[in-house]
Chains A and B, each alone.
Chain A
């Protein structure tokens, strides 16, 4: 069936972990007839929700990979990306938001706006993604959707307005009152699939009227027609309110709020209506690309299937038939058999099989038109690559990729595992730019690097399960950095005369700390170092930055200036100047009061107010700097900055200190100097490790 682009919705479902977004997606797929049975996330029935396609996700009850799926509701086609909720995987969330046009922000009616919702909301802001909110779990004890709405306003600065009010709450949650049609909606039938529309219960009429007035007032800011109707007292039609709310939502100035309980099969169909009504179609979103031929000038893309193709590969997966590349087409149409260019590599690719995904099942299609999401088979590429029609040289906006903060040594137990591990690591690094790997030249260990303990743990588990790798892991290591704190001079002569050709080079100058990236400055006058040897000096300097003399971690923030030197007509060479620069660097570095920097994480712990003291105590013991405490009545949020090195195993300790009534999120904040006592200990440990490796 051909669907007009106005009736396409590309949406993400983003939320705090355990807000029930996977259950919600599952229910959406059920009501849109993509699946014919519903399962629980944690697999009480041993099946697991459809969107959690990886075995590991089912076991842990969390969503790791964003499985894309599509469905139809009324006459609209909805492409859904189920996004992970844990902060360790936010690169996945960010990627999803990059390719989506709108999002559903799922919030728990009990927990409200939690710290992860704040992170996800900031990401939505960054990519200007319009959203509607769904307050889930209205059937749970302690549910209070209006408290959540006020938190949306106070904590996330959303202009949130309820489109519904609940009929009963907690165990008595029966349905919702739609404030636009002013009708009660009950969800009946075995799975809530039958909607019974009825009059508003008399006990809720006055509340419904006052909330409707609030809705009208909020919506009237976006429609003159609605404002006039209100002022003149003429009838306000449903269409007027819907249109005004839609305009407000598309400009991110209004957040319509829908409520229900996905688990109890209530409120999901009105949410789907909300997606169709209020979230944008691909044509309503402005997308830009960079023209690589014109100094990265921005080019507006048109959501026109007949124009040349511009598409972004946003996710890779290893399927049983090879690499599966999820792609969003922004302009043109990708058809089977067409030839496209990969703008990053410049290589031509021929499009073979095209599919539309439904979690881990797929359906073959002939073309993916602009505005749509689909998947390609047999294309070699990395995540984030742009595909264009021949003749175009455009790249979609590059995505912000944070540097890894933690590393771990992994060793395969046998040859077969070694081969599989190499395959797995190759795949993971292509799939996830925040996951990196390298071999330590000194210890010959394979090192994996990522954004947090859980991030690495999940990849280790995936290696074990999906690639049958038997492996041993070392202790996680923090990605320290080294730097200098004062200016120091150097004057070093490299001289070697041990038979054969001699080596001679002299390098002098000074080094100083800089807040910018490290740099090499050439201030040689009068040819004391001949021009042809300057690149060798720079190369020597860059090599020195790779491994600091104290811990062996990269050196940052050094400005290295050479202003004098010496050479020998016969014995000077590139190698001699590289060696001299290295000697000069080490001489200056020792005098420049070197220090070690460590990654500091922003840690937000949410807990009941009674555990505020113990939580602060725990953070304090970990060299944490507590920024403050936000009191939320029954619970509170403690915000702090804690060195990553102190955060290993924190979740277990936090659980036991609060009887499981606390959760935390952690993300990288900045690098900061390690206290002297700890720095000395780290240097000692590094030295003994070096000794044992030798």
Chain B
């Protein structure tokens, strides 16, 4: 099982995986992309990477129902296992025991509410995450208070949080690759990627806090797994 997990980790090629993509404790990370490009697929791989290293992931979705989120994990895990002949049939279930999904409505999501829910899980010894994925939060200048609360809460609990940032086609990227409304809060983030179409490929472009890469990384269109070359 251990060999399988390390093989899976090798397949999960995420740029800067050893360093910046792992985020420091209490750190925030973000992936910017248009709708339908693969933000959730990338998030799930960041989660799987954490899970295959023994960490626990709390995936919070403000958009999709529970079943859909679960399906994302199962699909990507199946694709990963197909690439790794050593994987056993019980691997998926074993890995998925390290994941917990919470679904909130966008307007019902607040940092104190999340903290309350999470404290219940930790106190009852049900689930104690190392990494949080927050998919579907809206970003602009008004998001600073909630991001500050989340950052504070992440620091207190020693968590790391990855966010998806939905960008629109009419939003021109700034010279640093960010978009204007995200720039207003970018100082709160340790690592930022952008997913972007380039020659029929979806490239992962490091924007902030990720060391220069020699290779290009992209999402394989058939499996949605991160690949290089």
Chain A residues proximal to chain B, CB less than 8 Å: 154-155, 515, 612-613, 616-617, 620, 625-633, 637, 639, 672-673
By a CB distance below 8 angstroms, the chain B residues around A612 are: 117, 120
Is there an interface contact between B120 and A613, defined as CB atoms closer than 8 Å? yes
Is there an interface contact between A616 and B70, defined as CB atoms closer than 8 Å? no
Give a binary string over B104-128; 1 marks a CB under 8 Å from any A CB, 0 the rest.
1100100000000100110011110
* B101 close to A (CB within 8 Å): yes
CA distance A620 to B101 in the complex (A): 15
Known: A155-B65, A612-B117, A616-B120. A627 touches B101 (CB 8 A): yes
Give a binary string over B55-68; 1 marks a CB under 8 Å from any A CB, 0 the rest.
00001000001100
**Residue in B70, B89, B93, B97 whose CB lies within 8 Å of A628:** B70
Is there an interface contact between A673 and B90, defined as CB atoms closer than 8 Å? yes
Is there an interface contact between A633 and B101, defined as CB atoms closer than 8 Å? no
CB distance from B123 to the nearest CB of A (A): 8
* B103 close to A (CB within 8 Å): yes
Is there an interface contact between B69 and A628, defined as CB atoms closer than 8 Å? yes
CA distance A405 to B186 in the complex (A): 53
Known: A155-B65, A639-B66. A616 touches B89 (CB 8 A): no
CA distance A630 to B117 in the complex (A): 12
By a CB distance below 8 angstroms, the chain B residues around A630 are: 65-66, 103
Is there an interface contact between B65 and A616, defined as CB atoms closer than 8 Å? no
CA distance A625 to B127 in the complex (A): 10
By a CB distance below 8 angstroms, the chain B residues around A617 are: 124, 126
14 further contact pairs, Cβ within 8 A, besides A613-B124, A628-B103:
A515-B89, A612-B117, A613-B120, A616-B120, A627-B66, A628-B66, A628-B70, A629-B101, A629-B102, A629-B103, A631-B108, A632-B105, A633-B105, A637-B66
By a CB distance below 8 angstroms, the chain B residues around A672 are: 93
By a CB distance below 8 angstroms, the chain B residues around A639 are: 66
CA distance A625 to B120 in the complex (A): 16
Known: A154-B65, A616-B120. A626 touches B103 (CB 8 A): no
CB distance from A637 to the nearest CB of B (A): 8
Is there an interface contact between B121 and A616, defined as CB atoms closer than 8 Å? yes
By a CB distance below 8 angstroms, the chain B residues around A637 are: 66
* B100 close to A (CB within 8 Å): yes
Is there an interface contact between B103 and A631, defined as CB atoms closer than 8 Å? yes
**Residue in A155, A515, A626, A673 whose CB lies within 8 Å of B127:** A626
Instruction: Give 28 pairs: A residue, B residue, CB < 8 Å, sorted on A.
Output: A154-B65, A155-B65, A612-B117, A613-B124, A616-B120, A616-B121, A616-B124, A616-B126, A617-B126, A625-B97, A626-B100, A626-B127, A627-B66, A627-B100, A627-B101, A628-B59, A628-B66, A628-B70, A628-B100, A628-B102, A629-B101, A631-B103, A631-B104, A631-B105, A631-B108, A631-B117, A632-B105, A673-B90
CA distance A627 to B96 in the complex (A): 8
By a CB distance below 8 angstroms, the chain A residues around B100 are: 626-628
By a CB distance below 8 angstroms, the chain A residues around B125 are: 620
- Of residues 9 through 50 on chain B, the ones whose CB sits less than 8 Å from some CB of chain A are none
Give a binary string over B181-200; 1 marks a CB under 8 Å from any A CB, 0 the rest.
00000000000000000000
Please name the residue on chain A nearest to B109 by beta carbon.
A631
By a CB distance below 8 angstroms, the chain A residues around B104 are: 631
CA distance A215 to B69 in the complex (A): 31
CA distance A627 to B74 in the complex (A): 12
CA distance A617 to B125 in the complex (A): 9
CA distance A629 to B120 in the complex (A): 12
The number of A-B residue pairs with CB atoms under 8 Å apart is 53
By a CB distance below 8 angstroms, the chain A residues around B65 are: 154-155, 630
CA distance A639 to B89 in the complex (A): 23
CA distance A629 to B59 in the complex (A): 10
What is the number of residues of chain B that contact chain A, defined by CB distance less than 8 Å? 24
CB distance from B121 to the nearest CB of A (A): 7
Is there an interface contact between B93 and A620, defined as CB atoms closer than 8 Å? no
By a CB distance below 8 angstroms, the chain A residues around B127 are: 626
Chain B residues proximal to chain A, CB less than 8 Å: 59, 65-66, 69-70, 89-90, 93, 96-97, 100-105, 108, 117, 120-121, 124-127
By a CB distance below 8 angstroms, the chain B residues around A673 are: 90
CA distance A639 to B103 in the complex (A): 11
CB distance from B101 to the nearest CB of A (A): 3
CA distance A617 to B126 in the complex (A): 7
CB distance from B211 to the nearest CB of A (A): 34
CA distance A137 to B103 in the complex (A): 27
Known: A616-B126, A672-B93. A627 touches B70 (CB 8 A): yes
By a CB distance below 8 angstroms, the chain A residues around B103 are: 628-631
CA distance A613 to B123 in the complex (A): 10
By a CB distance below 8 angstroms, the chain B residues around A613 are: 120, 124
Is there an interface contact between A631 and B89, defined as CB atoms closer than 8 Å? no
CA distance A673 to B88 in the complex (A): 13
CA distance A625 to B92 in the complex (A): 13
By a CB distance below 8 angstroms, the chain A residues around B117 are: 612, 629, 631
CB distance from A125 to the nearest CB of B (A): 13
CA distance A637 to B65 in the complex (A): 11
Please name the residue on chain A nearest to B102 by beta carbon.
A629
CA distance A154 to B108 in the complex (A): 15
CA distance A626 to B101 in the complex (A): 9
By a CB distance below 8 angstroms, the chain B residues around A627 are: 66, 70, 100-101
CB distance from A404 to the nearest CB of B (A): 23
By a CB distance below 8 angstroms, the chain A residues around B59 are: 628
CB distance from A657 to the nearest CB of B (A): 13
By a CB distance below 8 angstroms, the chain A residues around B66 are: 627-628, 630, 637, 639
CA distance A625 to B66 in the complex (A): 14
By a CB distance below 8 angstroms, the chain B residues around A154 are: 65
By a CB distance below 8 angstroms, the chain B residues around A155 are: 65
By a CB distance below 8 angstroms, the chain B residues around A632 are: 105
By a CB distance below 8 angstroms, the chain A residues around B105 are: 631-633
CA distance A612 to B97 in the complex (A): 19
CA distance A626 to B65 in the complex (A): 15
By a CB distance below 8 angstroms, the chain B residues around A515 are: 89
Please name the residue on chain B nearest to A617 by beta carbon.
B124
CA distance A613 to B117 in the complex (A): 8
Please name the residue on chain A nearest to B64 by beta carbon.
A154
CA distance A617 to B121 in the complex (A): 9
Please name the residue on chain A nearest to B103 by beta carbon.
A630
Question: When A and B form their complex, which 3 residue pairs have the shortest distance between CB atoms, in order from nearest?
Answer: A628-B101, A613-B120, A630-B103
Is there an interface contact between B89 and A626, defined as CB atoms closer than 8 Å? no
By a CB distance below 8 angstroms, the chain B residues around A620 are: 124-126
Please name the residue on chain B nearest to A619 by beta carbon.
B126
CA distance A154 to B124 in the complex (A): 31
By a CB distance below 8 angstroms, the chain B residues around A628 are: 59, 66, 69-70, 100-103
CA distance A626 to B100 in the complex (A): 7
CB distance from B132 to the nearest CB of A (A): 13
CA distance A633 to B126 in the complex (A): 22
Is there an interface contact between B102 and A626, defined as CB atoms closer than 8 Å? no
CB distance from A610 to the nearest CB of B (A): 11
CA distance A629 to B58 in the complex (A): 11
Please name the residue on chain A nearest to B68 by beta carbon.
A157
CA distance A515 to B87 in the complex (A): 14
By a CB distance below 8 angstroms, the chain A residues around B121 are: 616
CA distance A613 to B127 in the complex (A): 12
CA distance A633 to B120 in the complex (A): 17
Please name the residue on chain B nearest to A637 by beta carbon.
B66
CA distance A688 to B133 in the complex (A): 49
CB distance from A43 to the nearest CB of B (A): 38
Most chain A beta-carbon contacts within 10 A, residue among B66, B90, B124? B66
CA distance A625 to B97 in the complex (A): 7
Please name the residue on chain A nearest to B61 by beta carbon.
A628
By a CB distance below 8 angstroms, the chain B residues around A616 are: 120-121, 124, 126
CA distance A154 to B105 in the complex (A): 10
CB distance from B103 to the nearest CB of A (A): 4
By a CB distance below 8 angstroms, the chain A residues around B102 are: 628-629, 631
CA distance A637 to B101 in the complex (A): 12
By a CB distance below 8 angstroms, the chain B residues around A629 are: 101-103, 117
